[in-house]
Chain A
Amino acid sequence: MGFALRRLAHSLFVLWAVVTILFLMFRLMPGNPLAAYINEQLSEDDQRLIMAQFGLNRPLYEQYVIYLWNLLQGNLGMSFFRREPVWDVLKSALPNTLILTITGLVIAYIFGILTGAWLATKRGTLAEAVIVPAALATRAAPEFWIGMILLTIFAFTFGWFPSGGANSAGAAYTSEWDRILSRDYVLHLVLPALTLALYLQGLPLLLMRSTMLEILHDEFITMAKIKGLSPWRITIHHAARNALLPVVTAFALGLGATLGGNVVVETVFSWPGLGRLLVAAVAQSDYPLAQGAFFLISLVLIILNLIVDLVYGWLDPRVSHG
C-alpha cells in the first residue's frame, strides 16, 4: 500500500511539473502573450470576459494560480477555431486515441513477446537471420512511412480497407459504444492499429529474445533441465516469466514515444484522435485547443505510467518492498 501511495505522489508531482511547463511554454509564445487565450476576432466584450476569466490582466503568479484552478475544474478555455469549449472537442477525440493506442500496444506486445521468446530457442537458424534484422528495420523506419506503405498496398491497391477516418460518412449511431463496436469502425481501425503495432513490436521482440538468451544460461535453467522438464515448460514457466520484467520496463519507458507517435499515425490515416487534433490546432494557431490536447496527452501518459509502475511492483516484489 505504501508503495502504491508513493507512486501516486510521484505521478502527481510529475503532473504538476508538466502542467507548469505547459503554462510557461504557452506564455513564452512569440508575440502577444494574451494571444494564447484571446481570439482577436472576438468582440471587445467577449475579449474582456475571457481576460477576466483567465486573469490575463494580472501578474504572472496570479495567472498561474488561476490557471491551476481552472484546470482543476476542467476548464480548458474555448477553442478559437471551433468556437466550443476545448474540453468538448477533446472529449470526442479521446476514445479514438485510447482505442488506437491500446489496440496497437496489445497486438505489438503479444506478438513481440511470443516471437521473441520463440526466437531465443532458435539461435543460428534462418528464422533468426531474417526476423532480427526485420525487427530492427521496423524500429528504424518512420512510423508514418510504415503507414504510407500499408495504405498504398491495402487501401489503394487492393481496396480491402478504407483509406482514412474512423467512420464512413453519413453513418449514424445511437451511442458512442454503438459507434465503436460497429463493423465499420473496426474496419477503419485495422490499418492504423497495424501500423502502430508493426512499429512497436520490434522492441519487445528484441528485448525478450536477448533477455531469454541470457536467462537460458542461468543455473536454475540447467537445474530444470537436469530434472528432466520438457523444453516447452522450461521456456515458458522458468525463462519467459523472468524475461518479462525488462520488457515491462521498456514498455513503460516507451509509452511516451508511443503516445507521441500516434500524432503521425493519426495524421496519415486521418484518424480523429488527440494527436491529429493537436496538429490541426497548432496549424491553426488555436492555442487553447493545442494546450488542452497537449495536457490530455500528458495526462494519459502519466496515468498509463502509473498503472505500469503498479503492475511492475506486483510482478517483482523486490521493487515494492525495496
Chain B
Amino acid sequence: MANVQMPAQNLPAGRGDNAFVAGLRRILRDPFSVAALVIYVLLVLVAIFADQLMTHDPTQIQFRANGRVATNQPVSEAFLLGTTNLGRDIYSQLIAGSRNALMVGVTAAISVAALGTLVGLLSGYFGGRIDAFLMRLADVALAIPFLPFVIVLSGFFRANTWNVVIAVALLLWPNTARVIRSQVLTVKERAYVEAARVTGASDLRILFVHVAPNILPLTFLYGSVAIGWAILTEAAVSFVGFGDPSRISWGFMLQDAFVSQALSRGSWNWFLPPGLCIILVVIAGFFLARGAEEVLFPKLRS
C-alpha cells in the first residue's frame, strides 16, 4: 500500500478533479474501510470459486459408510460443518449461499444507488414542483412498512429472488435521494456551476458533467449500505418461507434449520455460520459507510 500512500500526501484532498481519487486513497488508509474491502473481495472470490471450494453437492443427500443417510452429523473432516437433518452438507451450502448473497446484494445496491441518485439530482437541481412531487413520493415510500411490503410482493407473485431486489429498490431509494438532494443544493450554488451556466451549458450538461461527479462518493456510500440491506431482506423473506425455492441462500439455510428443530437439538454448527456470514457482509457496508463518512465530512476527522 506504500505506493498508494505516497502520492496521496502530494495531492491534498478536495482539489478539483483529483478529489475523488484522493478520497479513494484516504479510504485505503482507514483500517475499517480496508477491512470492508477485504470482506467484499473475499465474498467475490468465494462466489467465483464456489464450485472448487464446495466439498459436496449442497442439494445432494449424503450417506455414511454403512449406507445410512448421514443426518445431523457433527463437525468432522468429511463434513466440515456437519450435515442437516436430511443429510446435506452444511459447509457446501454455506459456500453456495455466497453466490446468492453477492447477486442480490450487488443488483439491489446498483438499483438503489441509481434510482436514489437520479431522483436526488433532479429534485435538488430543478427544485420547485419536481422537487415537491419527488419528495412527497419519498415520504410515501418511507411510510410503507418495508418487510411486510416485500413479503406481500414475493408471497403473492412467484417466489423469486428478483422480487426481493425490486422491492428493496422501490422502498430504499428515498434515503439516498434525500441526502443526495441536499448535497446537490449546495453544489449547484458553487462558482464553477455558475460559470458553466454563464457559458451557456444546458441543464443536462451541468447536471451530469458538473454536479453529478461531486456527489458520486455519496452514491457509492449508500450503495454499499444497500448491499447489506438487500441481503438482510432476502434472508428475512426466505426465513418466513417466501424465498426462491430453487436457490440456496443463507436465509434459506436458517429457515431450514429453524423448521427442522435444529434449535432444540442445539445444532449450532447449522444455524450459527449462515448468520455470521450475513453479519460479515452487512457490517462491511457499515464499515465502508463509516470510512466514507470521514472522507465526505472531513469535519469529523480528529
Which residues on A are within 8 Å of B, measured CB to CB? 10, 13-15, 17-18, 21, 25, 29-30, 136-137, 139-145, 148-149, 151-152, 156-157, 163, 210, 214, 253, 256-257, 259-261, 263-264, 267-268, 275, 278-279, 282-283, 285, 290, 293-294, 297-298, 301-302, 305
CB distance B283 to A142 under 8 Å? no
> 15 new A-B pairs (CB below 8 Å) besides A140-B282, A260-B149?
A17-B140, A18-B143, A18-B144, A137-B279, A140-B228, A140-B232, A140-B280, A141-B282, A144-B235, A144-B258, A149-B272, A152-B264, A156-B263, A283-B241, A298-B143
Check if B78 is an interface residue, CB within 8 A of chain A. Answer: no
A214 to B151, alpha carbons, bound, how many Å? Answer: 40
CB distance B152 to A282 under 8 Å? yes
CB distance B145 to A259 under 8 Å? yes
CB distance B145 to A298 under 8 Å? yes
A156 to B264, alpha carbons, bound, how many Å? Answer: 5
Check if B148 is an interface residue, CB within 8 A of chain A. Answer: yes
CB distance A141 to B240 under 8 Å? no
CB distance A263 to B254 under 8 Å? no
Closest to B142 in A: A256
CB distance B254 to A148 under 8 Å? yes
Closest to A29 in B: B156
Could you tell me which residues of chain B, from 238 to 275, have a CB within 8 Å of some CB in chain A? Answer: 239-242, 251, 254, 257-258, 263-264, 266, 268, 271-272, 274-275
With contacts A141-B279, A283-B155 taken as known, whether A267 is within 8 angstroms of B239 at the C-beta atoms is yes
CB distance B140 to A18 under 8 Å? yes
Chain B residues lying within 8 Å of A268, measured Cβ to Cβ, are 258
Cβ contacts A to B, 19 pairs, < 8 Å: A30-B156, A137-B283, A144-B258, A145-B274, A145-B275, A148-B258, A151-B263, A210-B300, A214-B300, A256-B143, A256-B146, A260-B145, A260-B148, A263-B151, A279-B151, A282-B151, A283-B155, A285-B156, A305-B143
Closest to B155 in A: A282
Closest to B232 in A: A142
With contacts A21-B140, A156-B264, A267-B239 taken as known, whether A257 is within 8 angstroms of B146 at the C-beta atoms is yes
Chain B residues lying within 8 Å of A210, measured Cβ to Cβ, are 300
Could you tell me which residues of chain B, from 133 to 167, have a CB within 8 Å of some CB in chain A? Answer: 136, 139-140, 142-149, 151-153, 155-158
Check if B278 is an interface residue, CB within 8 A of chain A. Answer: yes
B167 to chain A, nearest CB (A): 11
Check if B102 is an interface residue, CB within 8 A of chain A. Answer: no
Binary interface profile of B, 16-60, with partner A (CB < 8 Å = 1, else 0)?
000000000000000000000000000000000000000000000
Chain B residues lying within 8 Å of A136, measured Cβ to Cβ, are 283, 286-287
CB distance B239 to A144 under 8 Å? yes
Binary interface profile of B, 214-245, with partner A (CB < 8 Å = 1, else 0)?
00000000000000100010011001111000
Size of B's binding interface in residues, CB under 8 A: 47
Chain A residues lying within 8 Å of B142, measured Cβ to Cβ, are 253, 256
Closest to B283 in A: A140
B15 to chain A, nearest CB (A): 26
Closest to B251 in A: A142
Partner of A148, one of B152, B228, B271, B286: B271
Could you tell me which residues of chain B, from 185 to 219, have a CB within 8 Å of some CB in chain A? Answer: none
With contacts A137-B283, A142-B251, A279-B240 taken as known, whether A302 is within 8 angstroms of B143 at the C-beta atoms is yes
A149 to B273, alpha carbons, bound, how many Å? Answer: 12
Partner of A142, one of B153, B158, B239: B239
Partner of A144, one of B145, B149, B236: B236
B277 to chain A, nearest CB (A): 11
A148 to B147, alpha carbons, bound, how many Å? Answer: 19
CB distance A261 to B147 under 8 Å? yes
CB distance A263 to B263 under 8 Å? no
Chain A residues lying within 8 Å of B157, measured Cβ to Cβ, are 30
A99 to chain B, nearest CB (A): 18
A290 to B155, alpha carbons, bound, how many Å? Answer: 10
A143 to B153, alpha carbons, bound, how many Å? Answer: 20
CB distance B240 to A264 under 8 Å? yes
With contacts A256-B144, A259-B145, A282-B155 taken as known, whether A264 is within 8 angstroms of B236 at the C-beta atoms is yes
B238 to chain A, nearest CB (A): 10
CB distance A145 to B147 under 8 Å? no
CB distance A142 to B254 under 8 Å? yes
A285 to chain B, nearest CB (A): 8
Which residue among B144, B272, B286 has the maximum number of chain A CB atoms within 10 Å of its CB? Answer: B144
A129 to B22, alpha carbons, bound, how many Å? Answer: 28
CB distance A294 to B145 under 8 Å? yes
Chain B residues lying within 8 Å of A148, measured Cβ to Cβ, are 254, 257-258, 263, 271, 275
Partner of A267, one of B144, B175, B240, B300: B240
CB distance A25 to B286 under 8 Å? no
CB distance B151 to A278 under 8 Å? yes
Partner of B275, one of A142, A261, A305: A142
Closest to A294 in B: B148
Closest to B175 in A: A253
Chain A residues lying within 8 Å of B272, measured Cβ to Cβ, are 149
A78 to B268, alpha carbons, bound, how many Å? Answer: 43
A182 to chain B, nearest CB (A): 25
